[in-house]
Amino acid sequence: MLARMTRPAASYAITLARTALLALACATAASLAQAAPDNSDLVAKLLVDKGVLDAKVFDSPATAIDSAASLGQQVRNATSGLVVSAMNFLGVPYKRGGNTADNGFDCSGFTRHIYENSLGLLLPRKADEQAKASGLAPVKRDELQPGDLVFFNTLKRTFSHVGIYVGEGKFIHAPKPGGEVRVENMGVRYWAKRFTGARRAAQTTATPVLATPVAPPAHETPPLGHNDAP
């Protein structure tokens, strides 16, 4: 006789299924685009549902295929696990000071959780401290790769908000009280004019390593407050 699955076990199984589905969608998008356009449309639809692609890609079948393929190719690298892990928390409520999916995340609590569990890199708790962490290297906007940390000035202070770049000009983050973890376009005016920098983990590690804060460049002033995303 099959034992009834407990609620925690069932929840864990659902989480694994969601993660596996998104990983499969992203990892196979590029090959599907070449072999089966109809299947690629389905992959693109999944990515639209997740907020990674804009719905307007379906204005042109070719655009939908190319967009799904491009994103799929981008996440097929060393940080694919990090991006997929971050996507798994879409919809988790924002909570100031939050560090877990059960209780909710704030922006830096979210990035810290993802980096620790995906890369074994223990980031500082605050967004501005993460931007100054010695274990992370600065990245130019036109050189962003999935998994990079992206920082914004949302309180008239540099580095007052942080998220994770997922590709195609999008990033995932925990926005503000009343919001939930979601994917947004860095190209929209609000985010474009508030982008202040990006950071990339120098290497992955098997065990947690504290990324120690260091002084920021002279032109970058760290914030004192919390984020205020739209």
CATH superfamily, domain at 92-210: endopeptidase domain like (from Nostoc punctiforme) (3.90.1720.10)
What is the pTM assigned to this prediction? 0.65
Distance between CA atoms of 120 and 208, rounded to whole angstroms?
Answer: 4
pLDDT band at 156 (very low <50, low <70, confident <90, very high): confident
Whether the predicted pLDDT of 196 surpasses 90:
yes
Amino acid identity, position 59? D
Q: Which residues are catalytic?
A: 107, 161, 173
Q: What CA–CA distance (Å, rounded) separates 26 from 4?
A: 33
Phi, psi of 30 (to 5 degrees): -65, -45
Mean pLDDT lowest among 9-18, 108-117, 133-142, 175-184: 9-18
Whether 42 shows a pLDDT value over 70: the answer reads no
Give the C-alpha separation, 43 to 142, whole Å.
Answer: 26
Q: Does the pLDDT value for residue 228 go beyond 50? A: yes
Residue spans of the domains in the chain: they are 10-76, 92-210
SS3 (DSSP) at 41: helix
Which band of pLDDT confidence, cut at 50, 70 and 90, is reported for residue 70? low
Q: Which of 84, 112, 85 is nearest to 100 (CA)?
A: 112
d(C-alpha 180, C-alpha 205), whole Å:
29
Token pair 């491009």: residue: 70
Average pLDDT over residues 56-78: 55
